[in-house]
Chain A
Amino acid sequence: MTELLRVEGLRKSYGDRVVLRDVDLTVEPHDVVCLIGSSGSGKSTLLRCLNLLEPVDDGTIWFEGQEVTDPRVDARAVRRRMGMVFQAYNLFPHMTVLDNITLAPRRAHGMSRAEAEARARELLERFGLADKATTHPDRLSGGQQQRAAIVRALATGPELVLLDEVTSALDPELVGEVLDIIRDMAVAGTTLVLATHEMAFARDVATKVCFLDGGSILEQGPPEAIFTSPSHDRTRQFLRRVLST
């Protein structure tokens, strides 16, 4: 129907190592999809495939009704309609926060400088970074850097935002401030796919939770179902381990 993203039979391997196999996933507009699972289960690779950063070995990805895994599709045009935030922030250290944020709107979307900066300042204001616009990323705290990276991903008005363990490099005190703004984004109706280890957050905010194990989605469903009555042993084991700590 009106799904934003559809993944069918996705497969990805590095040499002999199969990282993703037979992954099926549907994302509706305004969905918040949380990918959970232990390290190495393929969460990050799945996000990178969705952003076309990794060529897939089989299967298809449909985004806004277009098959984006077709080699004839311009990957840059697809990425311009998505935003991605990385675990290690990946801000450009030689640019101010404002320049980091206005780079893509100005250089990839042809927005005027004035318009891009006005929009960037609006977003910075919303995410509590208004006074950091002219600062360089290395002078910010981890939480501030990650919030700036999220603003950068949002600045182009993407249809879908991919978040790859964006709180994993932050200390617990700073995790909250980043999760809060992701929650705000979710409430505002932004479609999100995120890999996360924050189970409480997933239970709270997700519309759908996918448990990945050994490169495939073992089960997926609404958070109540996954967290209270998982149908697979592996899911139960994983949840017991992460929830007990």
Chain B
Amino acid sequence: MGDWSPSPRQLEREAVRRRRSLRSAAIAGAATALLLVVAVVGVLASPGWATVRETFFSWEHAKASFPAIAEGFWLNVKLFLLAEPLILAVGVLVAVVRSTTAPALFPLRALAVFYTDLFRGLPTLLVVFLICFGVPALRLQGITNDLFWLALVALVLSYGAYVAEVFRAGIESIHPSQLASAESLGLSHATTMRFVVLPQAVRRVVPPLLNDFVSLQKDTALVASVALFDALFSARDYANYNFNYTPYLVAAAFFVALTIPMARLTDWLGRRVARRERGGGR
């Protein structure tokens, strides 16, 4: 390696590449700046801007509403953090049950199909209403009436159905040759699933799973409709008292601040797996 130094041709080539990447960066920057200017001028020049600035962009109201919304947002985060692992478990379980073949498990398979069909068909908000108002009305012994836990159950039921279908799509995308080679090693169906199919399926479905989880992060705000003091409900509470909508923007900022880093993290994880397993061989 020490005996090599780039030829003049190579140096010239690299100079051309550098010039081109500089030019690309300049074009990207100019296009972005232009778009921003157009957008900002468009908003500022709109006839209602003065009113909108007062009702949506008030710094005082943003500051005043911030602590309550931050506290409410913690409830969204708790809901999300508790619901996510439960949804993953429900999703994997339902998907695996649907892929079983044993005759004795037919009732379970039928139940899994019924569950996914039903809960994917119901609006999530409706599930929240039914669980949060319906379950306490049953007056069952030993079942909590705490709205937080009921809302959590509603979200898990609704999203579990979606995530189960995502996992099932992943399981079915694994090439039959993988099953054949696992079978030829004498592995049982369950072992094949656990060690061969699921690990590959999970890697494949990470992007759509993330999509569902970002969606879940936002849908934790549905609990505002049963008067739980989450970020949205706190914002609405403040807005109704003060006739100012700035808190809605504050709440929006909280949600976006949570979802964007999560999206970047998953991109990075996906690239790392791809680098390790594909090893440059295209």
Contact = CB atoms under 8 A, between A and B. Distances in A.
Contacts of A16: 1
Interface string B191-228: 00000000000000000000000000000000000000
A59 B1 CA distance: 15
A60 B20 CA distance: 20
Interface in A90-112: none
Nearest to A67: B9
A60 B282 CA distance: 23
A71 interface: yes
Contacts, number: 28
B10 interface: yes
Interface in B1-24: 1, 4, 6-7, 9-10, 13, 16-17, 20
B261 interface: no
B47 interface: no
A162 to B, nearest CB: 15
A21 B6 CA distance: 12
A67 to B, nearest CB: 9
B252 to A, nearest CB: 41
Contacts of B6: 57-58
Given A71-B16, A71-B17, A72-B16, A57 B10 contact: yes
A16 B4 CA distance: 12
B142 interface: no
Contacts of B17: 71
A69 interface: yes
A46 to B, nearest CB: 16
Interface in A48-71: 53, 57-60, 69-71
Contacts of B9: 58-60
B42 interface: no
A132 interface: no
Contacts of B7: 9, 58-59
A53 B282 contact: yes
Interface in B225-282: 280, 282
Contact of B4 (A11, A71, A72): A11
B13 A70 contact: yes
B1 A71 contact: no
A59 to B, nearest CB: 7
Nearest to B282: A53
A58 B5 CA distance: 9
A18 B1 contact: yes
Contacts of B13: 69-71
B1 A58 contact: no
A71 B20 contact: yes
Nearest to A18: B1
B279 to A, nearest CB: 11
Interface in A138-166: none
Given A16-B1, A53-B282, A58 B16 contact: no
Nearest to A48: B282
Interface centre among B10, B16, B282 (most CB of A within 10 A): B10
B280 A58 contact: no
A60 B12 CA distance: 12
Interface string A178-193: 0000000000000000
A140 to B, nearest CB: 15
Nearest to A60: B9
B65 to A, nearest CB: 52
B20 A58 contact: no
Contacts of A53: 282
Contacts of A9: 7
A158 to B, nearest CB: 20
Contacts of B16: 70-72
7 contacts: A14-B280, A18-B4, A21-B4, A57-B10, A58-B10, A70-B16, A72-B16
A59 B6 CA distance: 9
Given A14-B280, A58-B4, A70-B13, 16 more contacts: A11-B4, A13-B1, A16-B1, A18-B1, A18-B4, A53-B282, A57-B10, A58-B7, A59-B7, A59-B10, A60-B9, A71-B13, A71-B16, A71-B17, A71-B20, A72-B16
Contacts of B4: 11, 18, 21, 58
Interface string A14-40: 101010010000000000000000000
Contacts of A13: 1
